[in-house]
Chains A and B, each alone.
Chain A
Amino acid sequence: MSVDAVSIAPPETERLPRARPFVALVAILQREALRFLGQKGRLVAALVRPLVWLFVFAAGFRAALGLSITPPYQTYVTYEIYIVPGLTGMILLFNGMQSSLSLVYDREMGSMRLLLTAPLPRWWLLFCRLLAGSLISILQAYAFLAIAWLYGIRFPWIGYVTALPALALAALMLGALGLLLSSLIRQLENFAGVMNFVIFPMFFLSSALYPLWKMAEASPFLRDLCAANPFTHAVELIRFALYAKGNLLAFGVTTGAFVLFAAAAVWGYDPARGFTARKA
């Protein structure tokens, strides 16, 4: 083979069939779906947490915190109605973190390494993984909304349709955060730290459980922290969407956070520059 022949040969990746990235997407989706279906308890576990909050916590605070007229509400709502968008966000948050946990597990087991060596752009592979996790999050969120409907907490029917893009964006943002965290965590054992330092502060310092004006009554500083939390905006985006309304600020912050987390995760997974390079 002459030198010229080598120089004109296209790179390996360019000769791959065009459909291959989607083959990878389908394969990753199938793998995540199989994993989800294989773990029968996972859906139940994902739903038990918000349902306990709804049936026990919210019921207990029904009278104490049942009053709030903040957009998108036009009149007073019970605490149970207020809390449902926040608990839907909770499902997405925990599932995003669970994806991060399974990524760390995959890396320890070696299957992640195998995936990342596929002849496709790394960002695409990570996006496929993110999309798969987000789809499962959305399914869980709708399962929760269905149980809430049976419990008597109902939104306008159009709200269940308009909530889909909001749930998708929120799930992608939280999944991207999970992806970023997974690039930072060395071992499975460190995941407890994620629970303590990421999930709980993100959830409690948000508008999921209390409206921001209620937080401001306790402490303006806490209110500011909540307002800066991207999870607050993800919850508000879902809350407004459930009433077929838009919230430009929530959309902007959630989208911005998604782009930021996703870019940082791609950088983090770059073996030459990212966090994985330092671990090697």
Chain B
Amino acid sequence: MKRTALLLATLSLPAFAHAGEIWVTNEKDDTISVIDTDKLEVVRTIETGERPRGITFNSDYTRVYICASDSDTVQVMDPKTGEILHDLPSGEDPEQFVLAPDDKHLWIANENDAVTTVVDVDTRAVVGQIDVGIEPEGMAISPDGKIVITTSETTNMAHWIDADTKKIFANTLVDSRPRHAEFAKSGTELWVSAEIGGTVTVFDVATQKEKKKIRFEIKGVNSDLIQPVGFEFTPDNKTVFIALGPANHVAVVNADTFEVEGYVLVGRRVWHMAFSPDHKKLFTTNGVSGDVTVIDVATREPVKSIKVGRFPWGAAMRP
């Protein structure tokens, strides 16, 4: 009998081990909701500093960094215990950040100060501050860690920063209120979303020239409501899912042809998203409706919406 029970327990282990987590910051609740990617339900709620927004894990998932915007700090948490280990000096009102591939430096956009702050996560010291445009928000770093991008919402620019010298080497205009940036295709392309402009601009990284501008049109939805914000690429970089804010849809775009292949209905005011560890499910944070919609990546159909805290914003995956 005991042997059978042990065997059953052993057999059930691999399935359990594959379950991942999606960590969602709730900016009005000052909490993180942890969603089990198999059960599709909230399994933990963890308190954070005030107005948590940007969230990211280090490469071995032993630390999670949280932008606590209204606490003017970046919090470092042990994801196992949910304990805040310490704060990092982030500058005022940190909204988004990006961790360098070597896990050493955190590049933080300080929305109210118009600067990008570079923090050494080991020494917890500010090692650089770069003046950028007004209301910086989107942050991206190239896969080789050499180029950092800050987008400024009011200046409507993407600032290209040399990671070694910590100096801007190029500025490119984008459409109104750029909010998110990502490198794609081994760092040869930079994608920037413009919330008010309603577009996503693709740049050639080598020349910093615009390669393509993607526009969106949803049947029955006013074009003013189409406001692209966060986006995520599939691992093969062939498809990109783009959150369209108050349009309550996520666009599915072919990253090779730049054609919009479809739209997925999600909750109200969709901000950001994260894939499950196996990349079969995509989790979108829906700010106004206070939930997370799960999209089946293969069928591109929404399968479930999960209630989380108030105004969910950022999302990050933990395997």
| Residues of A in contact with B (beta carbons under 8 Å apart) | 59, 62-63, 66-67, 69, 74-78
Q: Indicate if B28 sits at the interface (CB-CB under 8 A).
A: no
For residue B92, give the distance in angstroms from its CB to the closest CB of chain A.
36
Cβ–Cβ < 8 Å partners of A59 in chain B:
219-220
Q: How far is the CA of A59 from the CA of B266 in the complex (A)?
A: 18
Of the candidates A63, A75, A78, which one forms a contact with B293 in the assembled complex, judged by CB atoms under 8 Å apart?
A: A75
Query: Which of the segments B68-76, B167-175, B237-245, B297-305 contacts the partner chain?
Result: B297-305
Contacts A62-B220, A76-B265, A76-B267: A67 and B248 contacting too (C-beta < 8 A)? yes
Residue of A59, A67, A69, A76 most packed against chain B (CB within 10 A): A76
The 7 closest A-B pairs by CB, nearest first: A62-B220, A75-B305, A75-B302, A74-B304, A63-B220, A76-B265, A63-B221
For residue B174, give the distance in angstroms from its CB to the closest CB of chain A.
27
Q: Indicate if B289 sits at the interface (CB-CB under 8 A).
A: yes
Near A by CB (< 8 A), chain B positions 267-319 give 267-268, 289, 293-294, 302-305
Q: Indicate if B207 sits at the interface (CB-CB under 8 A).
A: no
Q: Indicate if B10 sits at the interface (CB-CB under 8 A).
A: no
Q: How far is the CA of A77 from the CA of B219 in the complex (A)?
A: 14
Where chain B touches its partner, the secondary structure class is loop
Q: How far is the CA of A69 from the CA of B294 in the complex (A)?
A: 14
Q: Please name 12 pairs of A and B residues whose Cβ atoms are closer than 8 Å in the assembled complex, sorted by A.
A: A63-B221, A67-B248, A67-B267, A74-B303, A74-B304, A75-B266, A75-B294, A75-B303, A76-B266, A76-B293, A76-B305, A78-B265
Interface size classification for chain B: 10 to 19
Cβ–Cβ < 8 Å partners of A76 in chain B:
248, 265-267, 289, 293, 302, 305
Cβ–Cβ < 8 Å partners of B221 in chain A:
62-63
Cβ–Cβ < 8 Å partners of B304 in chain A:
74-75
Q: Indicate if B222 sits at the interface (CB-CB under 8 A).
A: yes
For residue B247, give the distance in angstroms from its CB to the closest CB of chain A.
9
Pairwise interchain contact B305-A77, C-beta atoms closer than 8 A: no
Q: How far is the CA of A7 from the CA of B2 in the complex (A)?
A: 79
Q: How far is the CA of A69 from the CA of B305 in the complex (A)?
A: 8
Q: How far is the CA of A75 from the CA of B40 in the complex (A)?
A: 12
**Chain A residue with the shortest CB-CB distance to B225:** A63
Contacts A62-B220, A63-B220: A74 and B305 contacting too (C-beta < 8 A)? yes
For residue A68, give the distance in angstroms from its CB to the closest CB of chain B.
11
* Additional A-B contacts beyond A74-B305, A75-B304 (8; CB < 8 A): A63-B221, A63-B222, A66-B265, A67-B267, A75-B302, A75-B303, A76-B248, A76-B265
